[in-house]
Structure 1
Amino acid sequence: MTAAQDMPATRIRHPFYVDADGINRPPGPDKHPFYTQFATSGSSLVPVIRMVQGAPVNAFLVCRYSDVKEVFRRQEIFSRAEAAAADPIDVSGTLLGMDGDEHAQVRGTIKDAFTRPAIHALRGIVERTAAGQLATMTNDRRHAELVQDFALPFTLHVISDLLGLPSQDRMRFRAWGDAFLATGGLTQQEAAQSSMEMGAYLWQQLEQRRAQATEDLLTRIATAAADQPAHVQIKLAVALVVGGWETTASSIATFVFVLHTRPYLTYASAWDYLLDHPERLDSAIAELQRLYSTSAADEMPRRVMADVELPSGARLSKGDIVIPSLDAAHRDPAVFPRPTEMDFDRTPNPHLGFGHGPHYCIGAHLGKMEVRTAIHQMLRELPDLRLAVPAAQIPWKAGHSLISPERLPIEW
């Protein structure tokens, strides 16, 4: 099979919800119907076109599960670093933008802090942080806004405590993080100014740790990564703050929305089902991660470094730009029977929500623990939790790399 077979005659605009102003505006958590269509089409490769800093970039969306895993696995063929010009987000100098030995070296400075045993040891801290934020949210009232009152502060405090960020400075990262993850709506000057401010602040924190070491992740970066250029040290800290906070908070808010707005089996909502079947929580979260990933525009692009044939038989040429699509891969019927059906008993469920291979999300164990802890505690403490407004009135982020409600009014 070649890349030319069974493809659309013209390139499709990507992302799929880009409006006339060039802003990506996903209308909610449900993925575009294209993903199911592409997952079952004749070719794994779909030609797309997208605008990056005002210039058109041709690319191939990789849609089959086996092919997406191959792109993730073989970073010597599918390079993140060489695809920087095709990426609307500047991740150069971060773990997300590195390959090979450079990536392994920088990742190695912090990976021990995110192993399964290391994160398991933090379970008590995570649970207490969630409980404390939940108590603050519910204190003497019967309504709240879940994103601002719980999801964001809970996840921010967890990663900030690990890093050792001063309490009084933490909410500054909300604006900085939104600018870092923006794909539209901000000018390049605004995004650059925000990045400079965040970078300057984190460099000051790293310098303080070099002068006086403490027991936190910033000290680990300041010492173990001291031989790396300043921008690499700064961006490693940036990636941990932004990636360890905003992504997890987005998952919590999105999953709560889905659980309250989707029926399940004979239950009016999946939330009601989990109230009666709390033992299914882990498998339910895995299924939510499969169907409702927080990615607003697929995975980050890679440049093909040599002619290659994918497991499906589709061929790519050196220099091609590819975008691995988790949302299409998660609808591949060869791996997920009845792929569009939400099934909390799906076994196995080898979703790729945290990636695969060398770029597997370093914070995956922590993110899983936080999402599970948050939903578990809400089910237990707030069983009557419900949306305070009709689902159609919930606003969703636009021009952002993550899918999430902007606000999620709730009551109980």
Structure 2
Amino acid sequence: MTVMKDPAAATCPIRHPLDLGPDGVNRPGLYLNELYHEIREAYGVVPVVRANGTDAKLVTRYEDVKAALRDPLLSREKALPFDDVSGLEGTILGLDGAAHAAVRGLVKDHFTPRAIEARRTEIERCAAAQLQVMIGRGAPADLLADFALPFALELICDLLGLPEADRADFHRWSEAFLSHSNLSQEEAEASLFAMYGYLAGLLQQRRGAPAGDLLSQIAVNGAHLPEHQLVMLPIALIVGGWETSASSIGTFTQVLLTHPYGGYDSAYRYLVDHPDDLVGAITELERMFSTTAADAMPRYVTADTTLPSGTHLSEGELVISSVNAANYDPRAFADPHTMNFARFARAATDTDIERHLSFGYGIHHCIGRHLGHGEVVAAIGLLLRELPTLRLTVATEDIPRKIGHAVGGPTHLPVAWS
């Protein structure tokens, strides 16, 4: 289906997600589906019918997406019954207003730019330790399983203060929690219940004997909150802080190794010789190749409102704000399909990181965006320094990708170096 050639598409629902196969499984590729660009330029907002049978409006233009994400009339909490990802009730991803602020307030000071900068040495040390494990095992290696995933999981678990002996369980539980097609409802719920029960007990233990870590702070300072909200907070931090960061490391490395840039045969080789461009490069890759669940968290319109484009939203409608489509809006980004590492020249600052929408916008913007950004910069910067000859061992089109998953990216990234 091509929107530009079908005027009726403005009023006839399109099936969503746009990469949904005939078997009902979503299979997004490395590149954003061209249909997003056609919708954005031809209409901006179109009706869609979602895989679960509900209707929604897909919003694709930058200013409209920003407005929808910050409009208090568009509720996340009331949209939860229609979410693709289950189990978000009581989390910072599924609360509105004062309840959301109360939960977020327990941890927000640990995720500010200043707080993450203070942890930079720790982040780099953790990345270096895991990379040495991968190098010690020798090539070929799986950059995800041998480096990105254990590094990201170790870091968020260190921040929370989770016992090392239990971290493998969180890997298994988190994977099941994020998969909303490959597992049965019963299997996903069993993983969530196991994670929930473990953390409920650990929080109770830390409340009685604080250990100076983030989990202890949540337990002590959040004692007045409902247990469900308190337990779901570290779950959201673990799941979001582990899988998304690791997937970004894998995705961005794949892109850098396979795309020419600046007269070099690959952007990776370019950055080996131009390390000062790394932060801007990562921010540009965040814009172009986001791994976040960009279309997975709709909003429910609680009262009639109007987007900047003039599109009317009626009470009771569902709205899907496509940050990926907005990140390619030529009204916001010059020549958006061209990779430009200088686009975010001062990307280390808070304002510049937020110019793209991959970390969301408004009160529900990703609380761990600075940590995630810092992890990816540290990890890829380390790869560039320690493994300048890194290469894929299979063709990029043969790299398997996640299907039916809330976080995009490769499932494996076979690499070698010499």
TM-score by length of 1: 0.95
User: Contact (CA 8 Å) 1:35, 1:331: kept in 2 or not?
Assistant: no
1:261 aligned onto 2:258:
yes
Alignment of 1:156-305 (within 5 A): 156-295=153-292, 298-305=295-302
1:392 aligned onto 2:392:
no
| SS at 1:139 equivalent | helix
TM-aligned CA deviation for residue 8 of structure 1: 3.0
Note the alpha carbon deviations across 1:305-359, whole angstroms, 9 max, x for none: 1111111111110111001001110111111111111111214762011111211
TM-aligned CA deviation for residue 124 of structure 1: 0.8
Q: Equivalent residue for 2:65?
A: 68
Q: Equivalent residue for 1:82?
A: 78
Q: Equivalent residue for 2:121?
A: 124
Q: Equivalent residue for 1:401?
A: 406
1:368 aligned onto 2:373:
yes
1:308 aligned onto 2:305:
yes
Q: Equivalent residue for 2:330?
A: 333
| SS at 1:375 equivalent | helix
Structure 2: which amino acid aligns with 1:168?
A: A
Aligned match for 1:10, one of 9, 12, 17: 12
Structure 2: which amino acid aligns with 1:397?
A: K
Q: In structure 1, how many angstroms separate the alpha carbons of the residues matched to 2:101 and 2:238? A: 20
Q: Equivalent residue for 1:40?
A: 41
Q: In structure 2, how many angstroms separate the alpha carbons of the residues matched to 1:225 and 1:296? A: 28
Q: In structure 2, how many angstroms separate the alpha carbons of the residues matched to 1:38 and 1:281? A: 32
Structure 1 gap ranges (5+) = none
| SS at 2:51 equivalent | strand
Q: Equivalent residue for 1:23?
A: 25
| SS at 1:358 equivalent | helix
User: Contact (CA 8 Å) 1:291, 1:330: kept in 2 or not?
Assistant: yes
Structure 2: which amino acid aligns with 1:151?
A: A
TM-aligned CA deviation for residue 86 of structure 1: 1.4
Q: In structure 1, how many angstroms separate the alpha carbons of the residues matched to 2:32 and 2:293? A: 9
1:51 aligned onto 2:51:
yes
Note the alpha carbon deviations across 1:150-202, whole angstroms, 9 max, x for none: 00100111110011111111111122112211221211111111110010111
Q: In structure 1, how many angstroms separate the alpha carbons of the residues matched to 2:181 and 2:138? A: 36
Structure 2: which amino acid aligns with 1:408?
A: L
1:383 aligned onto 2:388:
yes
Structure 2: which amino acid aligns with 1:278?
A: P
TM-aligned CA deviation for residue 407 of structure 1: 0.6
Structure 1: which amino acid aligns with 2:222?
A: A
- What is the percent sequence identity of the aligned residues? 49
Which moves more between the two structures, 339-348 or 13-22? 339-348
Q: Equivalent residue for 1:133?
A: 130
Which moves more between the two structures, 164-173 or 249-258? 164-173
TM-aligned CA deviation for residue 51 of structure 1: 2.2
Q: In structure 2, how many angstroms separate the alpha carbons of the residues matched to 1:149 and 1:370? A: 16
Structure 2 gap ranges (5+) = 1-6, 346-351
User: Contact (CA 8 Å) 1:155, 1:249: kept in 2 or not?
Assistant: yes
User: Contact (CA 8 Å) 2:294, 2:324: kept in 1 or not?
Assistant: no
Runs of 4+ in structure 1 displaced over 6 angstroms?
none
TM-aligned CA deviation for residue 373 of structure 1: 0.1
Alignment of 1:84-123 (within 5 A): 84-90=80-86, 91-123=88-120
User: Contact (CA 8 Å) 1:35, 1:328: kept in 2 or not?
Assistant: yes
- RMSD after superposition: 1.4
Note the alpha carbon deviations across 1:71-125, whole angstroms, 9 max, x for none: 1112x21100000121011211100001111101111111111111111111111
1:355 aligned onto 2:352:
no
Q: In structure 2, how many angstroms separate the alpha carbons of the residues matched to 1:6 and 1:63? A: 18
Q: In structure 2, how many angstroms separate the alpha carbons of the residues matched to 1:83 and 1:254? A: 30
| SS at 1:244 equivalent | helix
TM-aligned CA deviation for residue 44 of structure 1: 2.1
User: Contact (CA 8 Å) 2:85, 2:296: kept in 1 or not?
Assistant: no
User: Contact (CA 8 Å) 2:292, 2:358: kept in 1 or not?
Assistant: no
User: Contact (CA 8 Å) 1:14, 1:297: kept in 2 or not?
Assistant: no
| SS at 1:59 equivalent | strand
User: Contact (CA 8 Å) 2:178, 2:406: kept in 1 or not?
Assistant: yes
Q: In structure 2, how many angstroms separate the alpha carbons of the residues matched to 1:117 and 1:345? A: 24
Going from structure 1 to structure 2, the CA distance change for 1:79 and 1:368 (only over 3 Å counts) comes to: same
Q: In structure 1, how many angstroms separate the alpha carbons of the residues matched to 2:56 and 2:180? A: 17
| SS at 2:54 equivalent | strand
Q: Equivalent residue for 2:349?
A: none
Which moves more between the two structures, 89-98 or 15-24? 15-24
Q: Equivalent residue for 2:147?
A: 150
TM-score by length of 2: 0.93
